[in-house]
A and B are shown apart, each in its own frame.
Chain A
Amino acid sequence: MPRSTNPLVISRVVGDVLEPFTSCVGIRIVYEGNTEVVNCSELKPSQIIHQPRVEVGGDDLRTLYTLILVDPDAPSPGDPNMREYLHWMVTNIPATTGATYGEEVVAYENPRPIVGIHRLVFVLFRQMGRQTIYAPGWRQNFNTRDFAELYNLGSPVAAVFFNCKRENSPGGSSRRR
């Protein structure tokens, strides 16, 4: 198996959620308190209560993007039988703008992991044109690959992920070793 240095590959985001892809559009995601999402960084549930500010790259305002946030480790990384859990979906985001300029198809639900350390993945797709994307019937067992195929979104153009675990986990840092 060729060794990749891409954090998305090492953490199996490419594999569990996405096929290998080439990042070609910049994306910047900042949660409240100026905490920018860096790949594999850890954020607390209290930091991600409200939807983040999203800045999409690209150059042509006519190019539209779809952004989703999924949790592939729901309900627990050891037994992810609800993989993936869809937390947010915004479509028709014009290039160079943010998520607030798009249509929120699935409202932002703040992640609250209970067991284990969950990966939370933002995926950005480029749309062929303005299209109507419908929310799935339910959030759990969402499949990003199938979703992209269904709406002809192709390969992702950008992806960022962070880790999140339960705040104040019992017997965690409070326990003296």
Chain B
Amino acid sequence: MEEVWKDINLASLNDHNTSSSSTSSAAFIFQDFLARPFTINTTSDPPPPTTTSPSPSPSPSLSPSPAPPQSLTALSLGSHHRHINNRNHHFHHQHPAPPPPPPLPPTSTPKLPYPSSPLFVDTLPCSSSLPCFPTTKRFPEPSSDSSPTLDRRNKRMIKNRESAARSRARKQAYTNELQLKVDHLLEENARLKRQQQQLCEAAANQQKKKSTLYRTFTAPF
């Protein structure tokens, strides 16, 4: 079931990426990805249902959907969610909360063409550039927090991630540089040792020759 939630998230993110003129930087994808559900939360009234909450059945939370007219696909999507929620509810009570996905993303971005629900899962384009990060704990629970706080937290999280990535890159670059230097120095060391040995031998040979030298021309006597 988690894969379904993941796929839905990725699909919504994919479509948003293609519809917006974004750069391909991962940071933007993160920010965008994290920002989207919260803008949807503020525009739509009910928080998406979580499967760990035991008592509320999925249908009441989905039924007060936003006023704007829903397309048939959105409705079918909603029923699909309801179906999944029901199944989760029955079989997996201890199932960790999948990320409360935006259940009705088409309402906020009406230009996204969502296929009807039976085909929904199959036709999800999974972009290779998207990181499939674990979806549970990263998502703060939609609560009565004001969205500016969430935005600030998300921005900080993103910046922290970028900084961590830069640190990792720095560390690896330094290690590689040291490795290159070690190789280079070992090679130079070996070469110099060989050279020194050759010079020593040459010097020794020369000394032997000198011992055989004696005056012949400078002093005839």
Chain A residues in the interface with B (C-beta under 8 A): 5-8, 10-12, 38-41, 77-78, 116-117, 163
Are A5 and B170 neighbours in the complex by a CB distance under 8 Å?
no
Measured between beta carbons, the chain B residues less than 8 angstroms from A5 are 176, 179-180
Among B163, B166, B173, residue most surrounded by chain A Cβ atoms (within 10 Å):
B173
Q: Could you tell me the distance between the alpha carbons of A12 and B159 in the complex, rounded to whole angstroms?
A: 17
Pair B166/A39 contact, Cβ less than 8 Å = no
Q: State whether A12 and B177 are in contact (beta carbons under 8 Å apart), knowing that A78-B159, A78-B162, A78-B163 are contacts in the complex.
A: no
Which of the residues B159, B162, B163, B169 comes within 8 Å of A10, measured between beta carbons? B169
Residues of A within 8 A of B207 (CB): none
Q: List 15 A-B contacts (CB under 8 A).
A: A5-B179, A5-B180, A7-B173, A10-B172, A38-B177, A39-B173, A39-B174, A39-B177, A40-B170, A40-B173, A41-B174, A41-B177, A77-B163, A78-B163, A163-B170
The residues of A that contact B162 with a CB separation of less than 8 Å are 78
Tally chain B residues at the interface, Cβ within 8 Å. Answer: 14
Nearest CB on A from B131, distance (A) = 14
Contacts of A117 in B (CB 8 A): 166, 170
B170/A11 in contact, CB under 8 A: yes
In the complex, which residues of chain A have a beta carbon less than 8 angstroms from the beta carbon of B170? 11, 40, 117, 163
User: Assuming A7-B180, A41-B174, what are 14 further A-B pairs, CB within 8 angstroms?
Assistant: A5-B180, A7-B173, A8-B173, A10-B169, A11-B170, A11-B173, A12-B169, A38-B177, A39-B173, A40-B170, A40-B173, A77-B166, A78-B162, A78-B163
